[in-house]
Amino acid sequence: MFAGTPMPDGSSDMGRVDRQSPGDDQLRCSSCGDVIGVYEPLVHVLGGVARPTSRAAEPELAYSSGQHFHLDCYEGPGPDR
């Protein structure tokens, strides 16, 4: 369902980590900017490939590259749609 899905804003996701500041281990949504909770479903996008997961299932996501979205933000209409 998610593999090869284009990112909502069409931007590149390579090498990007969504944190507010270098010491911030709270993952933030690339769409809305809010914190993604540990048990919330999220979409991790890397290299144009999107996959569903959660921080509880993969705690290392807080330090991974790519973009991270709340599931609803990723599946819902973007601000420019």
User: Residue type at 44?
Assistant: H
Q: What pLDDT, on the 0 to 100 scale, is given for residue 46? A: 94
Q: What pLDDT, on the 0 to 100 scale, is given for residue 52? A: 97
Q: What pLDDT, on the 0 to 100 scale, is given for residue 5? A: 45
Q: Check residue 56 and report its DSSP letter.
A: T
Q: What pLDDT, on the 0 to 100 scale, is given for residue 7? A: 53
Q: Residue 28 is encoded by which pair of tokens?
A: 């933030």
Mean pLDDT by 10 residues, the chain (81 residues): 49 46 73 95 95 94 91 79 36
Counting beta carbons within 10 angstroms of the beta carbon of residue 13, is it exposed (0 to 12), middle (13 to 18) or buried (19 or more)?
A: buried
